[in-house]
Each structure stands twice: as C-alpha cells, then as structure tokens.
Structure 1
Amino acid sequence: MSDHMQGAAQRYWDGESSSRGIADVFARPPAGGLPPVPSAAPPAPIGPGPVARPPSGPPARVGSAVAGLLCALLTLFFPLLFLVLGLPLLALLVNVPGIAFGIVALTRTADPPEVERFIRYTWAGTMIYLAVIAVIVVGVIALFLSI
C-alpha cells in the first residue's frame, strides 16, 4: 500500500476527518439548483387541537362480574329452602353483601381496577355466606337427628 493510502487509512481509524468528509458532501447545495429542504418543522396549527386521552388499560371484566352476581343471586335458594322446611327465622339469611357488591361491580365498568376489587368482594361475600350456611345446615341436621 502506498504512503498516501496508508495515511488516509490511519486518519480514518484515528477519527480524523479527511479533506472531504460526509458532512461536507451533505452540506453543499444540490447541483440541480433545487432549494434545500428546511430543517425546521412546519408551524403548529392554531387552536386547541385534539385532546390527549389518558393511557387506557385493559377493559373491565364484565363477564366475571356477571358470574359473581349470578352466583350471589343463586344463594337466594337457601332462604327459600329454609322457608319451605319450616324455619322462617333462617329464611332471613340472605347474601346481601355479595349481591350488593356484584351490582356495584357492574355499575362501575368505566374503572377496571375498581371492578376487579368489587368482583373480589362479591366472591368473598358469597364464599363467607356459603360457609355460614354450611355451619347452619350441619347444626339443623344435628338438631333433627337428636330428636
């Protein structure tokens, strides 16, 4: 390799710019006489413009809220059963919190985290209600067997 080529390669690897660098090529006006493209962006339109929406998350799980409410409503079977069995006092045991939380979950679909919270409350109310009913049923069965 000649000394000239070796010097150019050395300058390239050392980071020195050569006599005609890439910045010089793009800084010259075009040969065809076309005007250069302006580097600034076009002016912004006058007026308020579109309103930016907040980032949205996943949609609310309405199906799970409906399932929780339906299961809470199905627990109304137990007060009817106690009424038929002749135990009107136990017919007053209604899953009011589970049903109420299920209804609230379906009315707040605009806020998915709140829907999730009320779905959990609905299922927790229903499970606690079923546990209380199980204890009462075992007690009633023990009462009937002791007679």
Structure 2
Amino acid sequence: MTTLVRDQMITSPKTLPARASVEEARSALADSHVHLLLLTEGRTLRGTLTRTDLPATAAGDSPALTWSTLVGRTTAPDVPADPLRDALVHTGLRRLAVVDAELTLLGLLCLKRSGAGFCSDADVASRALAADQLSRGARCRTA
C-alpha cells in the first residue's frame, strides 16, 4: 500500500504572516528547528523562506515575502511519500509545504535529519514539551 504525503505531514505547522518583515523572518529562523518559514495570508501560502534566501544586505524592516519562493518547495497531499523522501535526500532539502490546488496550506512534510523518515505531529509536540520543561527548569534555577 502506498503511503501518501497527507499521511506523513505535520498538520499544524508554524507560520508567519505574509506581511512579516525580514527582521521577523530572521528571528524565526534563529531557532535551530526552523528550516523553512511558511508565509501565509489567512490559510493561503504566499511564500517560503530559508536562511539562505535572505541576503545579509536585506533591510530588517523590508518585507520578507520579497525574498520568498514557492518554486520547488510545495507538494500536493495525494502524492506518494516515498519517492519524495528519496528526492529530498538527494537534493538536501528537508521541508516541503503541503498545499492544495488553490495554495491553501494543509501541512508540512518534514524529513528527519537521518533521512530515514518524516517528522510527525507527535515528534513536534514532544520537542515543544522538552523545550518548555528545559525553559521552566532554567527559570527555577535562577529564581
């Protein structure tokens, strides 16, 4: 049985508004777990950004959307996941926005660092919980 992208995607990816500034994008990309920013207007994907998309000379108050692209960074939910995994491993990309024909953002296909499979909603929740616990521990030690 073929596994589809919809079965492997993260269903509630973090997004930034399409009107976000370069400074806001750089701040979001400073998180080591963020590899692809999804710039949205409502539920519509307007662009994607990686760290390398933003030139060092881009003014912090300029629109991040200017530097974004959709080309090569989206996939449909009904595409087989295994060939995409192979393509992502081959190209070195690790993230694809999952969209419908109208560019409605449905999720994020996230290749694990090992390349062996895809991140899940449970993986994201676990990482967020661990980060929260670490943050609480740091606050307790400094109080």
TM-score (norm 2): 0.28
**Structure number with bigger Rg:** 1
Give the structure with the higher percent helix: 1
